[in-house]
Amino acid sequence: MTAQIEHREVRPTGYGEIYQIPYQSDMSADDIRRLFPNTNAVIAVDFPISGEGEPLLTPEGDLIGHQFKNGVISVDHHNDDLQMCQPNICTTTLAWQMVEAGMRPNKKTPIVINHHDPDSILSAVLLSGMEGGLVKRDKLVEAALCSDHGVKPSSEKLNKIIELLFALDERDSFADSWVAVESLLRGYRMPDYVDPALRAYRAIKKRAEEAFQRVEEMGRGVHLLYLNEGIPSHHFIEAARRGGAKVLVIISPDPYDEKNLRIRVRGVDLPEFVYLTAMDLGRFGFRGRFDAGSIFANDGIDPDLVMKTIVEHMPT
């Protein structure tokens, strides 16, 4: 068993059959099944599941996830399949396709998330049907896509949804995040915890703008930024795109061990058929998807060699 999660750590969100579990870097379908032993199926949303699963396809042949023999269904875009390596794909896209194709299991099927960024929250919302008449499904998909790939949304309301979900991410609460979004959509007064979270989020965004002035160009569209704190990478994507970056590399202290470094790699405007997962970064411990991921650089990993590898894999 790879995960160390116990049944008592499975937290109901208070919304239907959506459950939270603690984040683990490596979970298998068997790990998920152990947490939910008495259901016909379990849907794991927006985090990778190790093991051999069968592709889950819509009637049109679109890949929307993987199904395991033990009844676990993984709806997640963090894999190397070419259908997932597209800027118009995120987990919420897959959830939308699943619902539109009539493939979602019954309402009693548990939906499991392990983090609270916009894509995770909104994909769970769509799979549960909680959006109801509040907002069109395609608008939630747009919000998730824009947040995940660093693109500006088409309306100020969607921008506010994205900002709310990013600001509330660290509260680690599906309920708090969705109550805030629901309040926004209904025009209700915001919960008291929202304003302090937004102020803190905007303060970080301002520090990110100041820090980005130190960005360096390393060649072939690869830009490098050193930070002395772990500012979330989504704060830099828009500025990096304006600056002509194809890839942004952020080197900052490892949040789990300050003696080491964390190297975050974000595809900002990757050329067609250029994927981070195909850049031989696995030898450094790269974990992520085609356009975003991290390397936790211990004493045996040279950041300069990581940079050299990325630049060499970019087209001239």
* pLDDT higher than threshold 80 for residue 304: yes
pLDDT confidence of residue 82: 78
Nearest to 83 by CA among 72, 73, 93: 93
* pLDDT higher than threshold 70 for residue 297: yes
| pLDDT-derived band at 102, boundaries 50, 70, 90 | very high
- pLDDT tens, residue by residue, 29-86: 999 999 999 999 999 999 999 888 999 999 999 999 999 999 999 999 987 787 888 8
pLDDT confidence of residue 226: 97
Q: Domain residue spans in the chain?
A: 7-191, 212-313
Residue 210 to residue 228: CA distance in whole angstroms:
13
Count the Cβ atoms, other than its own, within 10 Å of residue 304. 7
* pLDDT higher than threshold 60 for residue 2: no
* pLDDT higher than threshold 70 for residue 305: yes
- pLDDT tens, residue by residue, 239-292: 999 999 999 999 999 988 888 999 999 999 999 999 999 999 999 999 999 999
- pLDDT tens, residue by residue, 153-205: 999 999 999 999 999 999 999 999 999 999 999 999 999 999 999 999 999 99
pLDDT confidence of residue 1: 35
| pLDDT-derived band at 105, boundaries 50, 70, 90 | confident
| pLDDT-derived band at 8, boundaries 50, 70, 90 | low
pLDDT confidence of residue 7: 67
* pLDDT higher than threshold 70 for residue 24: yes
CATH 3.50.50.60 fits 212-313, yes or no: no
Residue 251 to residue 198: CA distance in whole angstroms:
25
